[in-house]
Amino acid sequence: MINVIGLGYIGLPTALMMASHGVEVIGTDYNKELVNTLNEGHTTFKEDGLDELFRDAINAGIKFSTEYQMTDMYIVSVPTPYDKFSKKVDPCYVITAVKSVLEVAPKGATVVIESTVSPGTMEKYVRPAVEEAGFTIGEDINLVHAPERIIPGNMVYELLHNNRTIGAYDRLIGEKVKELYSSFCQGEIVVTDIKTAEMTKVVENTFRAVNIAFANELARICRHDDMDVYEIIKICNMHPRVNILQPGPGVGGHCISVDPWFLVGDYPSLAKVIDESMKTNDSQPDFVLNRIHEIMKEKGLKDITRVGLYGLTYKENVDDMRESPTLQLLESQERHLATGLKVYDPYITKDIVANQYHNFDEFLDSVDMVVVMVKHNEIKENVDKLTGKVVLDCHNIIALSNVYHI
């Protein structure tokens, strides 16, 4: 039996995938409301294919509980935030979960950490926590790091097809964990040492963050000198060895906007490019806010309450708002002692922020200017409804005259 600890955006799909492929699974989470919802037969977030996977797992016998189980393998999938001052990883949730596992784990059990951590976290934080509890690594408890590699919006497919990395102190234990993941993973599974596994996951997301920052910085340079950044990127990408990404309103989610900071925190004198890239991405919502004010002034719009932000999530066609650029923009506006922007997102049905609408047409009726923060399919399919509005398109998806860009 496998006990999956943490039933959020990563833990739940992982538990469901394993259960639906013949593995006996009990999912554990401290959130009683979340566990009750799952036990009542409902998923806790929207994701293509998740409901079908949930039904398959239920039929296969998956169970959900707030209690840690006595079993021979645990998969820990809890959040790993970073300290906003030092930029170092904050392993508190991982350590708490591991300590709770140790209270019930039998001798010889394997604890697999799926949570993304900075290189050296397992050695500096997790191993000492295990040893301080009186356990010997390799005899009483085995430690493995198997970082997740899936993205909201395409989770089910990526769980099945993405390559995976298994980091272990003991190669034989690593191979045992590889066998478990092979029950569903059709991609290549590499077994390596723990620190390499830690580093590769952080580097993957850092690579993406740096390339996004280049596109965002390029957009600012082009805006400064009145050049078309999209035309420039289009032409540059005709070069066989150039692939510039598209700029946007900022970076969200719990990977690209967080993980690279781990390297900045651990290697402050070395991670200079990464540091500047993250600062560029983090300040992009402020850049969008400034564009809003510039366009309002140009068009003679004086009432900020007649400006609407389309999209609250961090990416299109999901309900995940973690580190959302829109939330960052609203926070920045509050810091400048201003409020009033209208907000709407078809995927967010609960009231999350002030001035939030739950109907697209009502939202449009209440504003003169629309800022496209997220490129949901809905906005692409209803471009005609934006006719007559002032539009700031942060993704270059709206084919109308009188559309502004970042």
- Catalytic residue positions? 201, 255
DSSP state at residue 366 = T
Strand partners, 344: 310, 357
Residues 6+ apart with CB under 8 A from 270: none
CA distance 234 to 252: 24
79 CB-contact burial (10 Å; exposed 0-12 / middle 13-18 / buried 19+): middle
Phi-psi region of 74 (alpha: psi -120 to 50; beta: other; left: phi over 0): beta
Which residues sit opposite 144 in a β-bridge? 112, 168
DSSP string, 60-122: HT-EEESS----SEEEE-----B-TTT--B--HHHHHHHHHHHTTPPTTEEEEE-S---TTHI
User: Residue 129 is which amino acid?
Assistant: A
**HSE-up (13 A, CA, CB side) for residue 218:** 19
Contact of 237 with 207, CB cutoff 8 Å: no
How far apart (Å, rounded) are the C-alpha atoms in residues 142 and 137?
Answer: 6
Number of separate helices (H) and strands (E) present in the chain:
16, 14
Residue pair 390/299 in contact (Cβ under 8 Å)? The answer is yes
**264, 271 Cβ separation under 8 angstroms:** yes
